[in-house]
Amino acid sequence: ARPLVEETTRHASDIFTFETHENALINASPFGLHTAMFIPTIRFQGSVEQQKHWLPLAESGKITGTYAQTELGHGGFVRGLETISKTATFDSKTDQFIIHSPTVTSTKYWPGGLGLSVSHTVVIARLIVDTKDYGSHSFIVPLRSLKSWKPLPGIELGDLGLKPGLNGTDNGYATFNSVRIPRSNMLMGLAQVTRHGSYSRKGKAQAAYSTMVLGRVNIIRVVAFQLAQATTIATRYSTVRTQGYGQYNEAHTELPLMSYRSQNARLLGLNAQAFALLFASKACMTIYRETKDATSYLHALVAGLKAYATRTAADGAEDARKCCGGQGYSNLSGLPEIVSLVTPQCTWEGDNMVMYQQTARFLMDSLRDVEGRKLHPSLSYIVDPAYSSTLPGVKRAAKAPTLHLPETHLALFRQRAARIIRSTSTAFAQTSATEGVPTAWNKHMLRLIESAKAHTEVFVLEAYISHVAAVENTAVRLIMQKNCALYALISILNSPDFFEHGFLSHDEAEVMRNLVDDLLDKLLPDAIALTDSWAFSDRNLKSAIGMWDGNVYETLMSWTRQLPINRNLPNEDGGAAGAAWREVIGPMLKKARSVGAESASEEKIRSML
């Protein structure tokens, strides 16, 4: 796809380290974690000598690796590190570590490629020297004989079986029964254990932290494309597919699905959202490059955005699938696969509820100390009096004549976020004083999550507006401004928080609904062009109903006839239908026919004569 190549060449980005050529996250391949996690972990956490040994082996493909952190009983990304119960105990006599799974819950469970495909893995395990527990560290553990591919002694490996998607990857499990590895297999770039068992830390864990943030930024990018894939398929299909004569049978020929407001509002809205996620990921990437190290602000921002983007894309892809009626439920449409690839992104690399709370924690901490130090500039709107009124009618940025303007939309987004964040901060502080901080956190968790979401949406709209304003081509800029306005207005109309404070009236909501109506009318003729702008190839979408040429029905019948189950039907044995008949249906029907006095003849059964 053109945008991918442009990204790669123009920005020298590492996109294919994280993303497949079909815009799935790289762990859709059994060797994805080899490039995305195994090699980077060695690079960031290995000593110079370790890098010299392992990197050429891994980079040349002489060995294949994965990254084994998640356990059967322990997930979570950062917190998970603290709860891992698998142990690596140092045996100073033999100069070895003993990797051991002490419990069923410490079984390594989920790592991609572990089931069948990797020779090595990074194992995250608790480091124990003498009786002292130094917490989680990284070890390189060889898993399989390179001759027989059998698990090495003491290691049990297996596959996790079918999932809704990603079945091209062998997510697997591993247990270790006192498996010995040399001391030098502990990655020693950040921490060291000497021959005599003395432990020392060196350097900061910042680099690993930075990889994690980069990974999440890439997820935001990937899900933008996945939402756009689903929207492209559904938009193309809805343009070809006709259904009904209208509610009043007013049309003389059947109308395209896309002409119905319920359909075009959903699909144009989803496309406007996909752009929002793409621009937000670009804005994040810019901050990441500028700050180089992952600051706590960037970390908090990316956490919230990861949650917002993945949930928006997952819900949106499923809605696009529903827009295609029955055909959206056939794998031949390509839509079920996209949904199955985007939904797990809400879970991995940090569950969305945990992610939002990390953002919320940053917001609450920032506000608590606001008098003692300066707020991060991107948070200053929260304490700006222009955005912080909680009294209805006192300060209203949104007057009906300005409701179409991006600056009004942004003001509304900021007001909403400022109100939620401030009222949550106040309530949280009050409860903390009486019931303690942890109880207060749990009690206000839902509003803390809403605070994080509202702040994230401010960032997304800022990125959208500034990205669109920078478009040089006037025609393109005008149409992108409409998409941006559509995104903002739909977001406002669907969120109770914009209305709760009486800040927006019913009349203003009516004005906004008319604006949406008008934007949809104006964008509708460009619906195909807007989805084509993502430049997906037929090869990328793999959808019988979303082909670029719009030849939906012939393609669908052709692909159906090509299915393996239908291939052998005309043969003498009748293929799958013949087998079903001989083994199940035939005996069942014959048994029924032999019951009762009268046995029905073939002729009588075929027809009533």
Tell me how many residues contact a copy of itself (CB under 8 A). 152
One of 102, 246, 550, 587 touching a copy of itself (CB under 8 A): 246
* Nearest-approach distance from CB 241 to a copy of itself, in angstroms: 8
Distance separating alpha carbons of residues 576 and 154, to the nearest angstrom: 43
Site pattern 389..428 for a copy of itself (x: CB under 8 A): -x-x------------------------------x-----
The nearer residue to a copy of itself, 285 or 449, going by C-beta atoms, is 449
* Nearest-approach distance from CB 273 to a copy of itself, in angstroms: 16
- What is the crossing angle of helices 445-469 and 261-291, to 10°? 90
Is residue 97 within 8 Å of residue 184, measured between CB atoms?
A: no
One of 361, 376, 395, 396 touching a copy of itself (CB under 8 A): 361
569 near a copy of itself, judged by CB under 8 A = yes
* Nearest-approach distance from CB 470 to a copy of itself, in angstroms: 32
The nearer residue to a copy of itself, 35 or 70, going by C-beta atoms, is 70
Choose the binding region for a copy of itself from 15-23, 207-215, 453-461, 494-502 (rule: CB under 8 A): 494-502
Closest CA to 94 of 198, 192, 200, 195: 195
Closest CA to 365 of 452, 288, 307: 452
The nearer residue to a copy of itself, 2 or 513, going by C-beta atoms, is 513
The nearer residue to a copy of itself, 9 or 248, going by C-beta atoms, is 248
Distance separating alpha carbons of residues 82 and 134, to the nearest angstrom: 10
Choose the binding region for a copy of itself from 278-286, 370-378, 402-410, 563-571 (rule: CB under 8 A): 563-571
Choose the binding region for a copy of itself from 18-26, 236-244, 282-290, 465-473 (rule: CB under 8 A): 236-244
The nearer residue to a copy of itself, 478 or 584, going by C-beta atoms, is 584
Q: Which of 19, 22, 318, 349 is catalytic?
A: 349
150 near a copy of itself, judged by CB under 8 A = yes
One of 206, 347, 380, 402 touching a copy of itself (CB under 8 A): 347
Distance separating alpha carbons of residues 592 and 394, to the nearest angstrom: 80
* Nearest-approach distance from CB 104 to a copy of itself, in angstroms: 5
The nearer residue to a copy of itself, 92 or 535, going by C-beta atoms, is 92
Distance separating alpha carbons of residues 519 and 535, to the nearest angstrom: 23
Which two tokens mark 435?
A: 């019931």
Distance separating alpha carbons of residues 508 and 529, to the nearest angstrom: 31
Q: What is the dihedral of CA 540, 521, 464, 403, to 10 degrees?
A: -160
DSSP line for 437-504: HHHHHHHTHHHHHHHHHHHHHHHHHHHHHHHHHT--SHHHHHHHHHHHHHHHHHHHHT-THHHHTS-S
| Half-sphere exposure in the Cβ direction for 186 (13 Å, CA) | 28
Distance separating alpha carbons of residues 527 and 541, to the nearest angstrom: 18
Q: 299: part of which helix (H) or strand (E)?
A: helix 296-322
Choose the binding region for a copy of itself from 130-138, 455-463, 471-479, 551-559 (rule: CB under 8 A): 551-559
Is residue 382 within 8 Å of residue 388, measured between CB atoms?
A: yes
Distance separating alpha carbons of residues 62 and 67, to the nearest angstrom: 17
The nearer residue to a copy of itself, 329 or 548, going by C-beta atoms, is 329
Beta-carbon count within 10 A of 420 CB: 23
Q: Which residues, 179 to 208, sit near a copy of itself by CB under 8 A?
A: 181-182, 184-185
Closest CA to 361 of 281, 428, 409, 418: 428
**287-292 LR contacts (CB < 8 Å, sep 24+):** 288/213, 288/214, 288/217
Site pattern 302..341 for a copy of itself (x: CB under 8 A): ----------------x---x--xx-xxxxx---x--xx-
250 near a copy of itself, judged by CB under 8 A = yes
Q: Is 290 a catalytic residue?
A: no
94 near a copy of itself, judged by CB under 8 A = no
Q: Which residues, 18 to 77, sit near a copy of itself by CB under 8 A?
A: 49-50, 53-54, 57, 60-64, 70, 72-76
3 near a copy of itself, judged by CB under 8 A = no
One of 205, 478, 529, 585 touching a copy of itself (CB under 8 A): 585
One of 163, 202, 289, 374 touching a copy of itself (CB under 8 A): 163
Give the contacts of 592 (CB within 8 A, at least 6 positions apart). none
114 near a copy of itself, judged by CB under 8 A = no
One of 400, 499, 532, 538 touching a copy of itself (CB under 8 A): 499
Q: By three-state DSSP, how is residue 136 classified?
A: strand
81 near a copy of itself, judged by CB under 8 A = no
Catalytic site residues? Answer: 349
